[in-house]
Structure 1
Amino acid sequence: MAAPGLVLQMRVREDADAPARVGYTASRKVGNAVARNRSRRRLRAVVNDVLAARAMPGCDYVLIARAATAGRPYDDLVADLAGALDRIEKKGR
């Protein structure tokens, strides 16, 4: 699910009881190495605040940084991830 500050992908694994796993990626389209690392750090912080409580067991999540991730206000990133999770959960039902 795409949002202005990030893209969220989810895949359900076969072992449904396993804890959720999270991966991060930032391509060169995001910017130079400093911008990519900052974007990944910000995504990790958002995951600690939002996804840690809402992650479904047995799922893999991938967060993809966008060009706006590094400069987007933190509260907006939290809202982006929460909204993407809502859309994924709604689609899965």
Structure 2
Amino acid sequence: MTPTVLTKRADFLAANRGLRNARPGFVLLTRPNDGRGVRYGITVTKKIGNAVVRNRMKRRFRELLRVALAEHGLADHDHVLIGREGGVERDFARMGQELVYALDAARDGKGDPARRPRRGNKKNPR
């Protein structure tokens, strides 16, 4: 089964409530999706760089996911990769190994501790 792409914001927000595995070049979010198959999404914010840098990072992530999800992807789960600072310069083979490690950890139910909730300031409360 070929993975499908996440397109709806609600799916990305739901994945954010799932398991989180942070690596130096990316953060992997995984969450069960009620039998919808293997799905993936990629997010790279403007903090990372200009459009050229962000698009390059997304191309690298798509290729990493294409290879890794075929063998190591979690069945009936959503997978979301979030780009981190320095992910563009990181060695491609090393990032592939880190993605496989993160997927294996997610399969075992292991993730990073939950983040503390964000708190807004008085000018911009959240």
The match for 2:46 is 28
What do the CA deviations read for 1:46-84 (whole angstroms, capped 9, x no partner)? 111112222122111100111111111111110110111
The amino acid across from 2:100 in the alignment is A
Say which is worse superposed, 34-43 or 47-56, in terms of deviation: 47-56
Q: TM-score, normalised by structure 1?
A: 0.88
Q: Does 1:47 align with 2:65?
A: yes
Question: Structure 2: how far apart are the matches of 1:9 and 1:73?
Answer: 21
Alignment partner of 2:99 out of 70, 81, 84: 81
The amino acid across from 1:33 in the alignment is A
Give 1:86 shift. Answer: 1.7
Structure 2, unpaired ranges of 5+? 1-20, 111-126
The match for 1:67 is 85
Question: Structure 2: how far apart are the matches of 1:82 and 1:49?
Answer: 10
The match for 1:3 is 23
More helix by share: 1
Alignment: residue pair count: 90
Indicate the SS of the match to 1:30: coil
Structure 1, unpaired ranges of 5+? none
Indicate the SS of the match to 2:28: strand
Give 1:29 shift. Answer: 1.6
Question: Percent of aligned positions with the same letter in both sequences?
Answer: 36
Runs of 4+ in 1 over 6 A off after TM superposition: none
Give 1:5 shift. Answer: 1.1
Q: TM-score, normalised by structure 2?
A: 0.67
Question: Structure 2: how far apart are the matches of 1:38 and 1:89?
Answer: 28
Rg larger in structure: 2
